[in-house]
Amino acid sequence: MKREKERGGTPVRGLLPLILLLGLWELTGDPASPYFPPPSTWVDGLRPLVDGDKLLPAIGQTALTFLLGLSIATVVGAVVGTLVGASRPIDRALSPSLEFLRALPAASLVPVAALVLGYTTQMKLVVVVLPATWPILLTCRTARRTLSPVLLDTPRTLGLSRWHRTTKILTPALTPAVLLGVRVAAPLALIITLLVEIVTRVDGLGAVLGAAQASFLSAQVYGLLTIAGVLGFLVNWVVTRAETAVSRRMRGTT
């Protein structure tokens, strides 16, 4: 119990430097500064967006794109990574192409996706899914390649069907790799979602942030960045808690 309490307090302790920095900023900042307005002015900067009913819909659009993109990336990455890792010849044949595609910056995909799909939610999803897929795909590929041959031969010896081999043997064995990939891909998917919205101005928190920056609304920009930071913290917390819960369940502990 003591260890669990210590783990639960770690995120709060990790935020102490940021809280101290914001407090110092508030005490020494100038409300009239065009570049570094103190935190107390950020709420006033966000008020026009709240009164105009723009903030919550923007957050909702960003959250929807993030959740859909991460879900699709998880399925695609897990399936493709498992299939590639199951065959050495396919792995050797596709490795150069996979490494080339993995190295492409997410921002470079925006012009191509916009030309093909236009400035739509579907375009945002494509740009988010492709980069977020790689952490899951690569971890699943590595995990599949390193599975024990005994573990793979046992269900064949027992005469299990392909479906039961997949659901009772392969899926539990690869679940930790999928969770590890999702833990890396989740913050990446959120960052890319905001990036695409800033660049393309498609509806979302990033589009509002880009508009505020273009209008030199410094307090509003900092307020929106704070919201984006809170979303990132929540995403990381939820993914970490989910990974811990699944790991405990697989170990049979509480």
Q: What is the pLDDT of residue 199?
A: 87
Q: How far apart are the first and last CA of the chain?
A: 11
The model's confidence at residue 2, banded by pLDDT at 50, 70 and 90, is very low
Q: What is the pLDDT of residue 89?
A: 87
Q: Is the pLDDT of residue 135 over 50?
A: yes
Distance of alpha carbon 52 from alpha carbon 50, whole angstroms: 5
- Structure letter (DSSP) for residue 39: T
Q: Is the pLDDT of residue 142 over 60?
A: yes
Per-residue pLDDT tens over the stretch 184-241: 999 999 999 999 999 888 889 999 999 999 989 999 999 999 999 999 989 988 888 8
Distance of alpha carbon 181 from alpha carbon 135, whole angstroms: 5
Q: Is the pLDDT of residue 5 over 60?
A: no
pTM given for the model? 0.84
**Cα-based distances in Å from 251 to 143, 245, 247:** 18, 10, 6
Distance of alpha carbon 145 from alpha carbon 149, whole angstroms: 10
Q: Which two tokens stand for residue 4?
A: 């669990």
Over residues 146-158, the mean pLDDT reads 78
Which one, of 223, 229, 230, lies nearest residue 209 by Cα? 223
The model's confidence at residue 17, banded by pLDDT at 50, 70 and 90, is confident
Residue 186 in contact with residue 178, Cβ under 8 Å? Answer: no
Q: What is the pLDDT of residue 78?
A: 93
Higher pLDDT pick, 105 / 20:
20
Q: What is the pLDDT of residue 69?
A: 93
All domains in the chain, ordered by first residue:
54-251 (1.10.3720.10)
The number of angstroms, rounded, from the C-alpha of 165 to the middle of its chain's C-alpha atoms is 30
Residue 132 in contact with residue 185, Cβ under 8 Å? Answer: yes
Query: What angle, rounded to 10 degrees, do the helices at 40-51 and 218-251 form?
Result: 90
Phi-psi region of 201 (alpha: psi -120 to 50; beta: other; left: phi over 0): left
Q: By mean pLDDT, which of 44-58, 74-88, 101-115 is the weakest? A: 101-115
Residues of the chain above pLDDT 90, percent: 37
Q: 34 in helix, strand or coil?
A: coil
Which one, of 203, 200, 237, 249, lies nearest residue 54 by Cα? 203
Distance of alpha carbon 42 from alpha carbon 227, whole angstroms: 11
- Structure letter (DSSP) for residue 10: H
Q: What is the pLDDT of residue 115?
A: 83
Higher pLDDT pick, 67 / 242:
67
Distance of alpha carbon 195 from alpha carbon 197, whole angstroms: 5
Which residue type occupies 93? A
